[in-house]
Chains A and B, each alone.
Chain A
C-alpha cells in the first residue's frame, strides 16, 4: 500500500516536472515567434521604446511645448471665420513641422559626412 502511494507520488512529481518543462518550452517558442514577427514586420523600426532609441529629456520637453491640441470640429456651420480658424491652426502645425530643418537630408550619408574621400 505504501509502495503504491510512493509510486503514485513519484509519477505525479514526474508529470508535474514535464508540465513545467512543456510550459517553458511553449513560452520560449511563442516568444521567439513573436520576436521574429516583430522584426520582420518592420515594427521594430517604428518602435522607440527599445534601448538606445528612447527620447532624450530635451526632446520630451520640446514635444510638450510644440504639441498642437486643436481639433477641428466634425460638425457645425462652415463660415469664413471657421475656415480662418482652421487655417490659423494648420499654419501653426506647419510651422512646427518646418522647425525640423531638412528632414532625411541626402547630405547626411554623403561621402564627406561619412569620412570617405570623393575619389
Chain B
C-alpha cells in the first residue's frame, strides 16, 4: 500500500495548469531483480522530467507484483529512477531515458542487488572472538595507481559473527584488523578491567599479512560470500605516554602506522584532563604512533616512533603542533603563475590543499598526489626539499616537517603536442609516457574528434599508447612494462607535433 501522503499527492501533482493543456500518457512497467529476474515489490520509482520549464518529478511505489504505474504523465522525455533497499539505485549507472509520446505499458527497470560478505572469527582454539574489526577493501585504480578502497567495515558480535552489506559486485580483500579500536576519553587512569591481554597481527583472508598473498573474494551481484578467520592470539603489550599542547574540548584520535600496511586505530584510553594515554593490544614490533586533533586543514598532529617489546616501554611524549606549512615558489621564465593542488590518494575527489605562489599554506602530514598547473609554460622540476617530484608526482609530508617550499622551475624550452582523432566520434583514452622520469609522470589523455588545444611538453621522445580502459593502473610499473605497440613521438623545442590517433593500435 502506498504511504498516505503519496496517495493524496499524486493526483495533485498531475493537475497543475500547464499539464492540462498537454497530451498525457500512461507510463507503467515492472521493477525486477537484475540477477534473478524476479519482480520487486515496494520499490520506489521516480519519473523525472527535465524540460525548458524546469524539472518535475512524480513518485510511486511498485505493488506486491513489482508493477508500477503513472496513469497520466505529460508527453516528454523522462528518466525513470528506481530504488529499493539492498539494491543499487539505477541512477548510479546511466539511467534509461524514455520518450513518452504514446502510452508505455511495459517498461522494465532491472535493479542490481548488492552483495554481502559475512563470516565468523575465532582463535586457533576455536573460541569465537568478539569486537574484532573487519575491513573489506575493493580493488580500484585511483589516479593511475592500484589502490584498495575501504568499501565496508564491521565488528564481530559476541558470537564472532560479522556482516558487511550493500557491497557492489567486484573483487574484494577482507582483513581482520585488530580488536575494536578507537580512542576513548576517560578521566579514570586505572586500566579498565576487561581489556584483553592478547592480540593478533592484522591478517587478510587466507591468513596472510601481505595483500600480495591474500585470497580475493569475488562477488557477483546479490551474492553472499562467506569469509572466516582463524586468528593466532599472541601476548600483547601496552604503551603509555602523555600528550601536550591539546585543546580540552576536541577529541584526539590515535593512529598506528607500520611500513606497507594500512594504518590502524588502536584501542586507546586518553585522559582529557591530564593528557595521559594508554594504547592497548600492541604486538611486539616497531610502529609510528600518530595523533590528530581537529579537522583536516586545522588539525594539530604529532607523531613518534614506538618500539613495543616484552614488558613496559618507556612513556611516549607527543607534543601536538599545527600542521607544517608549505609555500609554492616559482622559478624560470613565464608570465602566468603556476598553482598546485595536493590530493589525498585515497580520496581523490577531495583536494586537501590549494597552493598559490608565495603564500604559506597548512598541509596536514600525509601522502599526497601533486597536481601542477602552469598556464603558459612547462615545469622541468618540482622539488620538495631535495626530493624531485616531477616523475612521480607523489609527496610525503611528515608531521614534524619544518615549514617547506614546493619549488616549480619552469623550463625555457617546450614544444607542443596536438592529438587528434578522425573517423569515430567516441573518446579514446590515450596514455602519454615520457622517455624518462626527468620529463614528467605518465599522463592519461582523451583523444576526441573535437579539436582540443595542444598540450605543452618538455622536448624529447614520448610514447603514446591507446588504452581500452580509463581505469587502467597507468602509474604502475608492472602495467607499463606490459604495454606494447605504442608509437613514438618526438616533441621539438618551439615546434608543434601533430598525431592522429587512428594510427595507434590497441594493446
Same complex for A and B? Answer no
Q: Which residue numbers of A lie inside 8 Å of B, CB to CB?
A: none
